[in-house]
Structure 1
Amino acid sequence: MIIKNNRFAALAVMALVASLGLAGCGSDDSSTASGDGGGGGGDATTVTFLPKNLGNPYFDTSDAGGEKAVKEFGGTYAEVGPDAAGPDAQVSFIDTAAQQGVDALVISANDPKALCDSINAARDAGTKVVTFDSDTDPSCRDLFINQATAEGIANVEVDMIAEQIGDAGEIAILSAAANATNQNAWIETMKATLEADHPDIKLVDVVYGDDDDQKSFDATAALLADHPDLKGIISPTTVGIAAAARYLSTSDAKGKVALTGLGTPNQMRDYVEDGTVTEFALWNPGDLGYLAAYAAKALVDGDITGKEGDSFTAGDLGDFTVGADATVLLGEPFRFNKDNIADFNF
C-alpha cells in the first residue's frame, strides 16, 4: 500500500500546526513539568500527560497539543515523566497521579505489560487511563489513541525506502526501545511486507537506540561499519531518524545510504535541504495529543466508556468513533519532502 500526500491530510495538519505552540519539557529534578490549563477550581477536569520520556521533541509537540485541548475545555493540565525511557520508568509517576486523584492519565507506554499493575490500581481509584502513541495491553487501559494503523505506518516506510533504493539492496532498521509496543508492531509488519512484496530488499539488521540521541547516533555508525553494502536505513522513531541523519550528513555515506522513517519537519528540515534525507513520514503529533486529551475528557464526563461504536467530538478535529479493542484512530501518515516541508512548523 502506497500512502500518498493528499490535500485533505495536508490541510488538516496545517490547520493545527498554524495554531500549535510547542511546550518545553524538563525540570530541575528531571521528573515533572506542568502548566495550569486555565480552568482551575475543584470542578475542572485534571489531565496528566505521561510521555515515554521528557525532553523528546516528539512528545514536546504531542503534549503541547494535549495542553491546548485541556485549555479549550477548561481543565487543568500537567505533564510528568522520566528523563530516560525504560520498561518500568513510568510506574512511579502513575502511582503518584493516582494518589493525587487525577481525573485522567494520558500515557505513551514504554512497555505493554510492565505498567499494568500501576495503571489498574489508578483505574480502581477512579482515574481514567488513555494511552496514545504506544499502547499497553488493552486490558489495562480505558482507551488507546492510535496515530495510524500499524499497517499504514509500516507500509509507508517500506514504500519510501523501496522507492529510494530502487527496490533492491540491504537495509537495516534503527528502532527505539526493544520493548516499545508500537515499534515492534511496525517492525513485524515491515518484515512481512518486505518478504511478500519486495523480494530484492534484504533486511540485514534491527538495532535499538532507546530513543536516546547519542545511542542512536552510535548505532548508526555501527550499522554502516557492520554492513558495508548497506543501501538504506528505516528509523521509525523521531529521535532515531534525527540522530541517524546527523551522522550521515557528515559521513562518506551521505547520498549513498538512504534514510527514511518517522520524524518531525523541524528536526529533519536541514537534512532534507542538504540532501541527506529525501523523504520521511509522520502524523501530526500535536493532533495526537489534542485528540487524546478530548478522549480523556469524554471518558471522565461519561460521554463514552470505550465501547466500540461510542462517539465523541474532539474540538477542532471533529467527530471520532471508538473502534475494536477500545481504539480511536487519528488517521494516515503524511509524507514530508523538499516540495512541502517548508509548509510545516512542528
Structure 2
Amino acid sequence: MKKLFHALAPGFIMLLVFILASCGGGSTGGSSSGGNNSGGTGGGQPLNITFLPKAINNPYFDSAASGGKSAAGELKGTFKQVGPSSASASEQVTWITNLTQQHVSAIVVSANDPNALAPALKQAMSQGVKVVSYDSDVAPDARQVFVNQANAEDIGRTEVQILGKQINYTGQIAILSAASTATNQNTWIKYMQDELSKPQYKGMSLVKTVYGNDDDQTSFNDTLSLLQAYPNLKGIISPTTVGIAAAARAIESVNKGGKVALTGLGTPNQMRKYVKDGTVQQFALWDPGKLGYLAYYAAAALVQGKITGKEGDSFDAGTLGKKTIGANGAILLGPPTIFSKDNIDQFNF
C-alpha cells in the first residue's frame, strides 16, 4: 500500500493543481483606491495608473486629474493622484520610489526638474512600470512617451505676439515663470526670447525673468517687486496658471490694472474676473482636462502593449480619437485657445 501511495501521489497533486486553477484559485489580481475597482483592460494587464503632478491642490492639475479620472472610468481602470504640496523635484523623486515599490502599472508625471527625476524613473521602468510625462517633460530616456499640451514654439511666440499688440510693441516687459528648472517653462521662454529678437519687437525690452515656483504668494510678491523695480514696466508674461492669477491680483492691488498689460497661460475660471474688469485682455491655454484624459489613455496603451513609444505608433484615445506618436516620443494634444471677453464664458474649467 505504501508503494502504491508513492506511485499515485504525483498524479494526484497535478490533478489538484489543475482543479484549483480552473476555479480561479491562482488569481492574485487586486485594485487600488481612487478609481474603478475592476482594474480591467481587456488585455490581461491591470490599469493601476497614478498621476504625479508638479504639486497637488493646484487648479490646473486638479482639472487634469478630472480628465484622468474620466478616462479611467471609460477604460475600467484605477486612478490615483499623489505628489508634493509645493513644486519640489526631490519630493517627486520620493514619490516615484514609493510608487515603484507599490508596483503600479504606470506613472504619469509632470516634472519639476527633467534630470533630477530621471534616475528614479529609469529604476521604475527597469521594474516594468510604464512612464508617461505630461505638461512638463522629463529626460527622454526616462519615459516612454510625452503628452505635450501644444507645440512649444507656438506657445512661446504666441505669448509675445499677444503682449506686443497690447503695448504697441514698445516698452519694458518681464516674465514671471514657475520653477527655474521646469522643462516646459524654459522651452517656452527660449521661444519668447527668439520672438523678441525679430525686428517688429525692437522697441520692446525684456528686463527680467523671475521665478515664482508655482507658489501663489511667491508669485504675488515677485510681481510687486517687478512693479517697484521697474516703474515704467509695460507688460508681464506669466506662462503658468498659478503665476498669472497671482500677478493679476498683485497688479490690481497697486491700482495698475489696465496700465501694466498681463498675459500668459491660465484657466478661464481663475481668470474670468480679471478679464471682465479689464486687468487682462487676452491669455491662452489648452484644456487641462483633455490633457489628463489623453495622458491616461497613453499610459493605458503602454500597459496594454498597444504602443511602445516609438514614432508612428498609434492608439485610440477615446473621445479625442486616434493619436499618433511623433518624434522623440511626443503626443500632441492640439493648439491652445486664446481667451478674451468675447469667449471666456463659453468655458468652465
Give the distance between the partners of 1:103 and 1:86, measured in 2 at CA.
24
Answering whether residue 37 of structure 2 is matched by residue 35 of structure 1, we say: no
1:284: which partner in 2?
A: 287
For 2:267, the equivalent position in structure 1 comes to: 264
Task: Give the SS at the match of 1:54.
Answer: coil
TM-score, L = length of structure 2: 0.88
Match of 1:314 in 2: 317
Residue equivalent to 1:86: 88
Number of the residue aligned with 1:246: 249
Match of 1:233 in 2: 236
| Counterpart amino acid of residue 35 in structure 1 | G
CA distance in 1, matches of 2:136, 2:193: 19
Q: Deviations over 1:134-156 (max 9, x none)?
A: 00110110100001111111011
Mean CA deviation greater in 194-203 or 135-144: 194-203
- Name the amino acid aligned to 1:54: I
- C-alpha distance in 2 between matches for 1:39 and 1:50: 22
* Total equivalences in the alignment: 314
Q: Following TM superposition, by how much is the alpha carbon of 1:34 offset from its aligned partner in structure 2, in angstroms?
A: 5.7
What is the CA deviation profile of residues 214-268 of structure 1, one whole-angstrom value per residue up to 9, with x for unaligned ones?
A: 0000000000000011000000000000000111123221110000000000000
**Aligned counterpart, 2:203:** 200
Separation in structure 2 between the aligned mates of residue 190 and residue 74 of structure 1, nearest angstrom = 42
Tell me if structure 2 keeps the 8 A contact 1:44–1:74: no
User: 1:210–1:39: structure 2 CA closer, same or farther, 3 Å change rule?
Assistant: same
Q: Partner letter of residue 52 of structure 1?
A: K
Paired amino acid for 1:199: K
The more displaced of 34-43 and 270-279 is 34-43
Which residue in 2 is equivalent to 1:164? 166
- The alignment yields a C-alpha RMSD, in angstroms, of 1.3
Partner of 2:61: 59
Q: Distance in 2 between matches of 1:65 and 1:110?
A: 21
The aligned counterpart of 1:15 is none
Aligned residues of 1:237 and 1:262 also touching (Cα < 8 A): yes
Indicate how the Cα distance of structure 1 residues 167 and 38 shifts in structure 2: closer, same or farther if over 3 A, else same: farther
Equivalent-residue separation in structure 2 for 1:71 and 1:104 (angstroms): 16
Deviation at 1:67, TM superposition (A): 1.1
> Is the contact made by 2:48 and 2:79 (CA closer than 8 Å) also made in structure 1?
yes
Output the amino acid matched with 2:259.
K
User: 119, 128, 136: which one pairs with 2:138?
Assistant: 136
Shift of 1:44: 3.3
| Deviation (angstroms), 1:38 | 4.4
Q: Which has the higher contact order (CA 8 A, sep 6+)?
A: 1
Residues 34 and 214 (structure 1 numbering): CA distance in 2 closer, same or farther, change over 3 Å? farther
Deviates more, 1:191-200 or 1:321-330: 191-200
Aligned equivalent of 2:340: 337
CA contact (8 A) 1:170 1:231 kept: yes
How many Å apart are 1:159 and its aligned residue? 1.0
CA-to-partner distance for each residue in 1:103-133, whole Å, 9 max, x for gaps? 1110000101001111011101110000000
Alignment equivalent of 1:70, drawn from 47, 69, 72: 72
- Distance change in 2, residues 1:135/1:182 (3 Å): same
- For 2:36 and 2:287, the matched residues in 1 are separated by 22
Aligned to 2:122: 120
Query: How far apart are the structure 2 equivalents of 1:34 and 1:55?
Result: 18
1:188 and 1:199 map into 2 onto residues whose CA distance is 17
Partner deviation per Cα, 1:195-223 (whole Å, 9 max, x = no partner)? 12411111000000000000000000000
Is the 8 Å Cα contact of residues 87 and 179 (structure 1) preserved in structure 2?
no
CA distance in structure 1 between the partners assigned to 2:326 and 2:254 by the alignment: 46
CA gap 1:34/1:268 in 2 versus in 1, 3 angstroms: farther
Distance in 1 (alpha carbons) for counterparts of 2:138 and 2:163: 29
Where structure 1 has 5 or more consecutive residues not aligned to the other structure, the ranges are 1-32
Q: Which amino acid counterpart does residue 255 of structure 1 have in structure 2?
A: G
- Contact 1:34/1:79 (8 A) holds in 2: no
1:210 corresponds in structure 2 to 213
Cα distance between partner residues in 1 of 2:223 and 2:91: 25
Q: What's the TM-score once normalised by structure 1's chain length?
A: 0.89
**Percent identity of the aligned residues?**
56
Summarize deviations over 1:47-78 as a string: whole Å, max 9, x none.
00000001110000011111110111000111
Deviations 1:76-112 (A, max 9, x none): 1111000010232201111111111101110000101
